[in-house]
Structure 1
Amino acid sequence: MRAGLSRFARNRLALLGAALLLCLLLTVILAPVAFPGDPFRLAGRPLQPPDASFPLGTDTLGRDVAAEVAYGARTSLVIGIGATLGAILFGVVIGGLAGFYRGTVEVVLMRLTEFFQTIPAFILAILIVAILSPSVTNEVIAIALVSWPAIARLVRGEFVALGGREFVLACAGLGAGDARIIFRHLLPNCLSQIIAVGSLLIGTSILIEAGLSFLGLGDPNVMSWGLVISAGRAVLRSAWWICTFPGIAILLTVLAINLAGDGLNEALNPRLRDR
């Protein structure tokens, strides 16, 4: 672990991503202090440009864009992390069963995985949310259901590669049960790759959530970046700040997650350590 942290610390881009994520986390924590009250409340006159009173201006209804961006960060992180954890859990189960038992089990589960991969992820997410009704919980479910195939294929490949290793064959020869082999030997040896790939999925989940909110399929009672951009698109030419600042927040967040995720992948992936 120390060696991995040392490699991560030597990666300047990864450190930049980690610093941006730290700033985002501080924004989420301090949002109720800096902007007390409901972010949907009317704070000033509509379409007020950025000034000393409202650093990021106000939107078409007179709501503070800075408060909307700050509270939207919490929504994006909650949905991004929740959906990624759900995708990892489901993907590990499917990929682990396919890679360990092989045969018919592998064929059925991998064909199921390929079926989900043939459908565009965002289109499928729209369909799921439209069926379940827009809410934070349903967004998490929808994004998790379209994100798990990548994790499943990764875990399946790792289980197949590790299944022929001497320590796994020795455990099986000594009479170890399937559960012990999976949870004590196979899964811990591919955990670093799962963490690295999972960290990158958070950025994708945030983008999907922003797209759903932009189309009106997000929770209307929860502030989000996509909702703010959607509200400001009609006045983009005259009130550029409404769409610009949430867009910059999405850009920096996804960029930070990708930079930190790449650094984490290089630090934890044994295949990249000696390059």
Structure 2
Amino acid sequence: MTDQTIASHASLPKPLPKPAKGIWRQGWQRFTKSRTGMLGLVLVMLVVATAVIGPFLAPFDAHDQSPMLDPGAKAPPSWTHWLGTDRMGYDVLSRLIYGAPTALAVGLGAMSIASVIGVLVGGFAGYRGGTTDEVLMRFTDFFLVIPMFVVILAVVRLLGVAIVNTPFESVPYLNLGVIILLIGVFSWAPIARMTRAEFLRLKNQEFVEAARCIGATSGDILFRHILPNALPSLVVIVALGIGGAVLAEAMIGFLGFGDPAAVSWGQLLYFNYEALKVAPWASLSPGLAIFITVLGFNLLADGLTDAFNPRAKV
């Protein structure tokens, strides 16, 4: 190779380095390698598909009691009724399908409320620090020790009595909305603690100091610089909380405090547990649906934990 050829090769521009992978892209690559996380994602997508498409494919309406006439109540599974009928003559499969939207509405609605409150309280406490941090964290600790179920059951029972013969009695799904609101209000404390920890870790990072130097406002620093970098850790705890909210609503429904206008898996257990010996399919089916839903979100949270662990290897 001549000196002229070497010089021509030396003058060629060097290839640009590959851009660094974003935290979300790295996390997704790790997540796809997690069998636990992928199994959780499949289960969650199954529940979501059932909630979205299922009501259009259900063999019977949720409140259709025509199976009471043929084949009758507590009928075993058959080709017409794949999961049999319950003690009131409803088709178990149809009621199971119509219960999926209720479960997701509770989980997503309650955790949306909890996320907004938790991020605001935890983010403000972590960013300001000092006395503000101390006061807000003691307020958060107070919500951690409140007996959530006792308060929810008491409020729902009192509400049911207070709205009798009032215009609120005709409001559709009022009890369900109150349950979602209460679960969200009493579930924000763990999110606030996680948000505070992330904001304490991130507020002194170099990119935050650079934003301050160029005159960024506190709002811009909080919501454009710190919060996006704290979201991966928050997504994990929110996914875990969705499963917890679904389980909480199922327990409330099983105790007989659910919304009678809504089809809930917990209420299906409540209405059919006495017939467990003669018609076990009516109780085991909603119990299995609750188990699959909660397991799916828990496995999804485990996979997200592994995916966004900064010490994990790509």
Please give the TM-score of this superposition, normalised by the length of structure 1. 0.93
TM-fit CA distance, 1:42:
0.4
Could you tell me how far apart the structure 2 residues matched to 1:154 and 1:80 are? 19
1:240 is displaced (CA, Å) by 1.0
Closer, same or farther: CA 35–8 of 1 in aligned 2, 3 Å:
same
Please tell me whether residue 39 in structure 1 is matched to residue 62 in structure 2. yes
> Does structure 2 retain, via aligned residues, the 8 Å contact 1:72–1:223?
yes
Identity of aligned residues (%): 39
Q: How far off its partner does 1:212 sit?
A: 1.1
Residue in 2 that maps onto 1:210: 250
Instruction: Please say if 1:120 is aligned against 2:159.
Output: no
Matches within 5 A, 1:58-69: 58-69=85-96
Q: 1:98 aligns with which of 105, 108, 125?
A: 125
Residue aligned with 1:186, SS: helix
Q: 2:215 pairs with 153, 175, 184, which one?
A: 175
Give the Å deviation of 1:118: 1.0
Structure showing greater radius of gyration is 2
**Given the alignment of the two structures, is residue 259 of structure 1 paired with residue 299 of structure 2, yes or no?**
yes
Partner SS state of residue 187, structure 2: helix
User: After the TM superposition, which of the residue ranges 200-209 and 104-113 deviates more from structure 2?
Assistant: 104-113
- Correspondence 1:30 to 2:57: no
Task: Tell me how far 1:238 sits from its aligned partner.
Answer: 1.5
- The residue aligned with 2:34 is 11
Distance between the aligned counterparts of 1:142 and 1:183, measured in 2?
27
> How far off its partner does 1:121 sit?
3.2
CA shift for structure 1 position 25: 2.0
Equivalent in the alignment of 1:89: 116
Report which stretch shifted further, 167-176 or 258-267: 167-176
In the alignment, structure 1 residue 273 sits paired with structure 2 residue 307: no
Amino acid at match of 1:225: W
Determine the C-alpha separation between the residues in 1 that align with 2:219 and 2:57. Answer: 49
- Asked if 1:198 corresponds to 2:234, the answer is no
Looking at structure 2, the residues matched to 2 and 91 of structure 1 have their Cα atoms a distance apart, in angstroms, of: 26
User: Structure 1: where are the runs of 5+ without partners?
Assistant: none
1:213, CA displacement in angstroms?
1.1
- Asked if residue 141 in structure 1 is aligned to residue 181 in structure 2, the reply is yes
Q: Does 1:243 align with 2:283?
A: yes
What is the letter of the counterpart of residue 152 of structure 2? A
Q: Is the 8 A contact 2:38 2:300 kept in 1?
A: yes
CA distance in 2 between counterparts of 1:255 and 1:123 reads 25
Aligned residue for 1:71?
98
Native 8 Å contact 2:253 2:264 kept in 1 = yes
Partner deviation per Cα, 1:87-142 (whole Å, 9 max, x = no partner): 10110001011111122221221111100101233333333433444622111101
Q: Is the 8 A contact 1:129 1:142 kept in 2?
A: no
Q: Please give the alpha-carbon distance, in whole angstroms, between the structure 1 residues aligned to 2:80 and 2:256.
A: 30
**Cα RMSD, aligned residues only:** 1.8
Runs of 4+ residues over 4 Å off in structure 1? 131-134
CA distance in 2, matches of 1:212, 1:226: 7
Look up the match of 2:225: 185
- Number of equivalences: 274
Contact 2:60 2:94 survives alignment (8 Å): no
C-alpha separation in 2, matches of 1:84 and 1:128: 19
How far apart, in 2, do the equivalents of 1:191 and 1:169 lie? 20
Moved more, 127-136 or 204-213: 127-136
- The more displaced of 25-34 and 186-195 is 25-34
On the 8 A contact 1:84/1:205 being kept in 2, the answer is yes
Shift of 1:37: 5.7
Query: What is the distance in 1 between the residues matched to 2:134 and 2:284?
Result: 47
Ranges in structure 2 where 5+ consecutive residues have no aligned partner: 1-23, 161-173
- State the alpha-carbon separation in 2 of the partners of residues 131 and 113 from structure 1: 26
How much has 1:40 moved relative to structure 2?
1.8
